[in-house]
Structure formats: C-alpha cells, structure tokens
Amino acid sequence: MAAPANNELLSDVSSYYETKLAAHGETARGVDWNGEASQSLRFEQLCKIIAEPEGFSINDLGCGYGALNEYLALSFAGFSYNGFDISEAMVAAAQRRQGANAMDVSAAKRTARFVAADRPDGIADYGIASGIFNVRLDWSEAAWQSYLDSTLDVLDQTSRRGFAFNCLTSYSDPDKMRDHLHYADPCRIFDRCKRRYSRNVALLHDYGLYEFTILVRKQP
C-alpha cells in the first residue's frame, strides 16, 4: 500500500485521470496523452527493456485501460501481463477490454489481469511505468520528488530482470511547459538509478518527445 504521505497525492492523481477517462474514453487522450502515435512511440522505448520474444512476465504500474498489454500482443508471442492502477475506473475499463478479447488472448498463449492497487502484488521479470510521474497538479516539487523516488524503489523491488519508466524532461522548451506537470532532471534520475539499482542503466532522450525513458537492466 502507499505510504500515508502519498495517499492524498494518489487520490488527487486518480481523480484527475478519471476525469480524462470520462471525457475521452479508452483512448490515448483518456490517459492524458496527445494521441495514439506518441503513445505507441513511448511503448516502443519502454519495451526495449524486454530481452526475449516470449515467456516473460511483466508488471505494468499505472496501466490505465490496458493499452500496453495490447501493444505487447502485437510484438511478443506469449507473456504474463499484470496491470495495476490507482483508479478503479481505469481498472474496470481494462477488464472490460480484456473480456472482449479473451479468446484472442488465450489463443496466443498470453495471460492478463488488472488490479486496483498502487503497487504490484508480486515480482515479475520486468516492471514498466508509463506516464505516472508527469501529473504533479498542485503538489510541491519536494512531495512529488519523494513520491517518484519511492515508486522507483517499488519498481526495483518488484522486478527480477529490470524495469523501465519515463518522465517529462526538464530540457523541455519553456513555452511548452505547464505548471501542473512535473519535468524531471534526467541526469539526476539516471544517477540515482545507476548508484542505487544497477550498473546497467540506459537513458533514452532521442525519440522526438519532450521526455526521456530510462531502462534499468539487472544482472541475471
């Protein structure tokens, strides 16, 4: 469960995303992205953490309506997917979509489940978090940084082979930055991951979006 200091923060973020889902439905805009093309580009970067074509397990923290699960199905033959989100409305949407595609999932040797939670309930080969560090709302930089760092610890603790996540970048053009969003320093985050989690860390900051992706690869 979330630390007490994070409970109110997560509640605010959940309400924000549920408003987006109600307005835009099960689409990229429904999870506060600009569109499906940029969402797929983000998934492409995050999935570089995966080292095998099938047979792996993955925890998706902040799974939304399950878009990553659908993206994975296009590229990998078989896997075990676990989606977790703080919004019960998002989880319900993901479960409905999964139910509609249950036959296809079974045929492709894939399993998927969705749980309303703020952290994975078990260890998987890989952990992925897309977009969960962006929407700071009115919370202070110090509070948000504490939440970000503690969540990276959770990703480390619940992944066996590695984890990947993205953040908006502090190198964004000033005129495009918004007060309610968090723009992380990629150098600080890279240094934390390198010193705390693994010797093998990659920083991807070259794919045309105002963000970066970090891949943390663990020794077998």
pLDDT in tens, 174-198: 999 999 999 999 999 999 999 999 9
**What backbone phi and psi angles, to 5 degrees, belong to 110?**
-120, 150
**Degrees (nearest 5) of the Cα angle 106, 107, 113?**
25
**Domain 4-217, architecture per CATH:** 3-Layer(aba) Sandwich (3.40)
pLDDT in tens, 113-139: 999 999 999 999 999 999 999 999 999
Cβ atoms of 2 and 10 closer than 8 Å: yes
pLDDT in tens, 50-90: 999 999 999 999 999 999 999 999 999 899 999 999 999 99
28 has pLDDT over 90: no
Cβ atoms of 72 and 81 closer than 8 Å: yes
3-state secondary structure of 63: coil
Q: What's the pLDDT score for residue 108?
A: 57
Cβ atoms of 124 and 82 closer than 8 Å: yes
Q: What's the pLDDT score for residue 4?
A: 43
pLDDT in tens, 61-71: 999 999 999 99
Q: What's the pLDDT score for residue 6?
A: 83
Q: What are the extents of the domains in the chain?
A: 4-217
pTM for the model: 0.92
171 has pLDDT over 90: yes
* Residue count of the chain: 220
